[in-house]
Amino acid sequence: MSYAAVHDDEHHDHKPTGIGRWLFSTNHKDIGTMYLVFALIMFFIGGAMAMVIRAELFQPGLQYVDPQFFNSMTTVHALVMIFGAVMPAGVGLANWMIPMMVGAPDMAMPRMNNMSFWILPFAFTLLLSTFFMQGGAPAGGWTMYPPLVLQLGDGLPFLIFAVHFLGLSSIMGAINIIATVFNMRAPGMTFMRLPLFVWTWIITAFLLIAAMPVLAGGVTMLLTDKFFGTAFFDAAGGGDPVMFQHVFWFFGHPEVYILVLPSFGIISQIIPTFARKPLFGYASMVYATASIAFLSFFVWAHHMFTVGMPLAGELFFMYATMAIAVPTGVKVFNWTATMWKGSMTFETPMLFAIGVLFMFTLGGFTGLMMGITPVDFQYHDTYFIVAHFHYVLVPGIVFGIISGVYYWLPKWTGHMYDETLGKWHFWTSTISVNILFFPMHFLGLAGMPRRIPDYNTQFTDWNQIISIGGFAFGLSQLLLVWVVIKCVRGGEKATDQVWEGAHGLEFTLSSPPPFHSFTTPPEVTDATAHS
């Protein structure tokens, strides 16, 4: 074979086409796209499970599924939405945008990037295969509390291996993000000039590295309790089932911020762009984000006020919960101040970002209510809890991700999306998501327990309204799919300056200028001008 032919072969290896392009890709943009598409598929799978739940709860009594399968739906719905939809979507946006925002050619470890994505489909195949096993899918709640989860049939080891793989994928992605931002920034791109989206991801990556091994340890102890005769969580053998709750929530509360911080970063990019003003209080936003991450490790047992903790413990976790609300309030204030007296326009990304601001704040207020220990005794394990965390997760996090997709779609595809369809998507989603989750507060305050397939007839009316809102919200998301497909296939060409500025100011898609001025230092202009 001639030298030229060998050289061509080598060249071909580096530029695979067709399915090879996706299987072997080391390109951060392709991997980001795969993460986002995977997240969208999982979003609909998890959504289908939520629809089973809402169909069953449309009226009292048992209609469609038996209680065991209903419990499997609530359990796997949560696992799929958290680990399959929200986290991969955030990592997909990070993969796409971070190298461009810091002026790097790609992620620091491109092959590991490929591997951290391809672990995910296999992990979810393991998880979803439990539906076809003896004893059925996991039905002990997504928190996997013993002793309930230890009664699971053949599916338990598959659930635990799936969790291990998901954690492995997350840790690899986090290491990659940290290595990229720390080592591959363009000259002059100091830490305090990084776009806020990059900052939120650095902090999220450290949270992932700290929290995921804790979950891995907890589920490994579950595995040995079930199959190897240990008694970590078995009271008969000297163990304590409440210890699992401590281990789980020491992971679980930082996990909440792992989900929400990237969404904060996205709307910190979007609000300044459409307000035509630099972000108010850039430095305080960075410090607030870091404070949230640090404090998230000191509030875990506010999920456990009803387990019989000592009073001193309850007081500590109550005060810590109040403390973590402060930096979150700083962020809400700064976003609001950024919009104050700005030249605002209301394109779809801005609408979703404002939706995050309003509805996440509502979820935050109910969180403060639940942080007050004696009151939480009344709310605990009722639908009030479901209302609270869904206000944080859906309009707080999912809307944030969607706003980022609309914001960056022109950059990814070179085409403008259909603005009219985008606005329809926003309004149908916003109205239906509130019909879906707001009445849950009333049910919870009236005492309806969560995770139960049957209920007292007095709760029927609100449940029917909630279910109608749920189906409407699910259908609304088909608009997003249509907008994306339409945009990828063509449309009006996007300009270099996608979102035109007012007052002669124009912002690129990467970020508003550094916090202290409207001018970008000359040494960073080239690296970031097209990001």
Torsions phi, psi for 121 (to 5 deg) = -60, -35
The residues carrying an active-site annotation are 77, 106, 142, 169-170, 253, 255, 257, 268, 302-303, 328, 331, 450
Q: What whole-number distance in Å separates Cα of residue 387 and Cα of residue 396?
A: 12
3-state secondary structure of 61: coil
Instruction: Classify each residue of 165-190 as buried b or exposed e, where b means 16 or more C-beta atoms within 10 Å of its C-beta.
Output: bbbbbbbbbbbbbbebbeebbbebbe
End-to-end CA distance of the chain: 42
Q: What whole-number distance in Å separates Cα of residue 263 and Cα of residue 280?
A: 18
Angle, helices 110-129/87-102, rounded to nearest 10 degrees: 170
User: For 469, what's the count of Cα atoms within 13 Å in the CB-facing half-sphere?
Assistant: 19
> Nearest CA to 277 among 359, 191, 345?
345
> Nearest CA to 491 among 423, 420, 388, 413?
413
66-69: long-range contacts at Cβ-Cβ below 8 A with a sequence spacing of 24 or more? 67/453, 67/454, 68/136, 68/139, 69/136, 69/139
User: Is the preceding peptide bond at 138 cis, omega within 30 degrees of 0?
Assistant: no
Angle, helices 155-183/87-102, rounded to nearest 10 degrees: 10
